[in-house]
Chain A
């Protein structure tokens, strides 16, 4: 288990009234769209300086009124993909292997 936080080299925005957001990896100059559940997850992370994977899963489950176990795999996978594109850190380390 690990803690999740936003990486240093990102910019992001959730567009007003558009139900759409995006994250921009400043280092790699790449944009990634965020929609539906991705947006919910991103919003939850944004409300914390750092959040554990378990807390994140529980908060998402509460938001959708479902069991944590039902979404554990999907959320973990999504977090892994965010880590791979360099926009979040796990336990203070980003994909560039840099401690922040």
Chain B
């Protein structure tokens, strides 16, 4: 069987497939665009165990450990062991600059095969300056190579910013040559209050942004146009996944931070089975968005309701940035060039 067949079963039966837990909210990097709060909040380890147990009962088999920086958690090894003993497939979202030997041993022993990381350049000084952490790039690369040698599948996500724009055309090839998967990302999100944290001097101009969108589609292999009938769910992933912040807020995804409930007050099983807010969010279709139903850009639109929520507190409202992305894809060059993948 393939992953598409399995995803169809999960979605059709509204089963939880993937749970993401923000185990810490602190990081050893200080990126210019970071939206995390400064107040340190680590999730209680017993609560994490409880979430894993409940997630298994709800059908989940994928666990994404996120932060902050997960390797700053003193409990990371215990969490990995607990989850792997319950046969969860773990993905670590980490900058990998802080990899202690015990975590490496743990990754090896428990068969963790997925790591997702973020880099900002192939040039150490550009990267280190953006993350405000001297020596960060060198440490990350060293550890990522170590993981690759252990057979771990590493995905490097590059955020398109002014500092790396000049190398953006070659950056994916560079990391793929080193044996990593690599994609370019273009949407840098605001914090939960809608404030864009990325400094103006790092924001791309419109023409640069258009080109970065093209590179993003090329690096992810996105096929356009997209079949988007109005009866399609706005975000199918919401039917099968959930995100839990380090303070216990249960939210649909990392970007859509409308709290459904708090895990310290209600169990994950009760939230998944009984929360009307969650069910409402999961059910949203294109036809629920007045501005999108008759839009001639819909088949070029990868609408993210979280963006609308961040900008205007309404998941169903149009979002200027999302419409702009669809416009770029439709009117410029993507319909032809998207087929050209790495």
Contacts and interface: CB of A to CB of B under 8 A. Distances in A.
Interface of A: 6, 8-13, 15-16, 18, 20, 22, 24, 26-27, 29, 31-33
B110 A8 contact: yes
Interface of B: 1-3, 6, 9, 13, 15, 56-62, 87-89, 109-111, 113, 151, 153
Nearest to B151: A27
Contacts of A9: 111, 113
Contact of B59 (A15, A31, A32, A33): A15
Nearest to A23: B87
Given A6-B87, A13-B59, A15-B9, A26 B3 contact: no
Given A8-B110, A11-B88, A16-B57, 13 more contacts: A9-B111, A9-B113, A10-B87, A12-B61, A13-B56, A13-B61, A15-B9, A16-B15, A20-B9, A26-B111, A27-B151, A29-B113, A31-B6
Contacts of B58: 16
Closest 4 CB pairs of A and B: A11-B89, A9-B111, A13-B61, A33-B1
22 contacts: A6-B87, A8-B110, A9-B111, A10-B111, A11-B61, A11-B88, A11-B89, A13-B87, A15-B59, A16-B15, A16-B57, A16-B58, A18-B13, A22-B1, A26-B89, A26-B113, A27-B111, A29-B113, A29-B153, A31-B1, A31-B2, A32-B1
A15 B5 CA distance: 14
Nearest to A18: B13
A96 to B, nearest CB: 10
B104 to A, nearest CB: 16
A8 B111 contact: yes
A18 B9 contact: yes
Contacts of A20: 9
Contacts of A16: 15, 57-59
A32 to B, nearest CB: 7
B215 to A, nearest CB: 26
A31 B3 contact: yes
Given A8-B111, A18-B13, A32-B1, A24 B89 contact: yes
B61 A24 contact: yes
B63 to A, nearest CB: 9
B6 A22 contact: yes
Contacts of B2: 31
A100 to B, nearest CB: 9
Contacts of B56: 13
A6 B62 CA distance: 18
B9 A11 contact: no
Given A24-B89, A26-B111, A15 B13 contact: yes
Contacts of B6: 22, 31
Contacts of B153: 29
Contacts of B57: 16
A26 to B, nearest CB: 5
A17 to B, nearest CB: 8
Nearest to B63: A11
Nearest to B15: A15
Contacts of A31: 1-3, 6
Nearest to A6: B87
A26 B58 CA distance: 21
Contacts of B111: 8-10, 26-27
Nearest to A14: B59
Contacts of B15: 15-16, 18
A48 B109 CA distance: 20
Contacts of A33: 1
Nearest to B12: A18
Contacts of A27: 111, 113, 151
Contacts of B113: 9, 26-27, 29
B1 A11 contact: no
A11 to B, nearest CB: 4
Contacts of A32: 1
Contacts of B13: 15, 18
